[in-house]
Structure 1
């Protein structure tokens, strides 16, 4: 197998928003993502984007933009349903949670420490819901 392009992990999830442009701005402010690529059409809709954080990469796209991809929806378009949750490792879960809360994230589960035993690891993490209903887990390895 050939390596992915430089800067790409072997898996890169894509999440879709009704207002992807606003979501990108919010994700950078709330969760600390950095925009690597942002491609807009003439109407200002996001055709493609790549956001990075701590060595990870996600793509954020505009829901309903393409007639052959009508299955791509924001959770708010399907009564809050989610078929995925994104997990991100951070350096300080408590500080990250406060940043997200200040930006308007709904904190679904406050930061807690989980010890999975001697054979595994311990981590501190929390869960949040973003402005359109995507669920996120943020974890700090201890």
Structure 2
């Protein structure tokens, strides 16, 4: 095993009051790619949005009857850090699409270039160049 950072395999998920509008926003403002959306009318049972640089998110409409819901997340309580090679360009795109920028592009003390935005549901989105630290080799490798 080498000490490179593996491709993302964690799929954060969130709920939205207006999932179809949130999908449009995430595609238009941030550049996520709509892969699949299941549901009828305004309801989204499951959606997968891929991040062009690797990984992605899953989302669905908030369920009015939360009993038996395995993921009773409240809209607007989600936050994610998304790795991008072009945070300044992405921030410009997000502003043009109406995203609320909560932190302008800046350099961090750990060598990343970051910015932060909030989507119309109130979720926090943090974008930057920090890909995570390389993993240590497993013992006995």
TM bracket (short chain): 0.7 to 0.9
Could you tell me which residue of structure 2 aligns to residue 71 of structure 1? Answer: 72
- Asked if 1:125 is matched to 2:124, the reply is no
- The answer to which structure has the higher helix fraction is 1
User: How far does the alpha carbon of each residue in 1:105-141 deviate from its partner, in whole angstroms, 9 at most, with x for none?
Assistant: 111011001132xxxxx11010100111000100024
Contact 1:64 1:72 in 2 (8 A): no
- The answer to which structure has the higher strand fraction is 1
What runs of 5+ residues in structure 1 fail to find an aligned partner? 1-7, 76-81, 117-121
Could you tell me which residue of structure 1 aligns to residue 13 of structure 2? Answer: 14
Question: Once the 2 structures are TM-superposed, how far is the Cα of residue 55 of structure 1 from its aligned partner?
Answer: 1.0
When residues 65 and 48 of structure 1 are mapped into structure 2, their CA distance, relative to the original with a 3 A threshold, is: farther
- Asked if 1:105 is matched to 2:99, the reply is yes
Give the structure-2-normalised TM-score: 0.78
User: How far does the alpha carbon of each residue in 1:36-84 deviate from its partner, in whole angstroms, 9 at most, with x for none?
Assistant: 111112x331110100011111001101255433832212xxxxxx3x4
| Structure of higher RCO (CA pairs closer than 8 Å, 6+ residues apart) | 2
Contact 2:10 2:55 in 1 (8 A): no
Give the structure-1-normalised TM-score: 0.78
In the alignment, the residues of structure 2 paired with residue 11 and residue 66 of structure 1 have an alpha-carbon distance, to the nearest angstrom, of 27
- Asked if 1:114 is matched to 2:92, the reply is no
RMSD between aligned alpha carbons?
Answer: 2.1
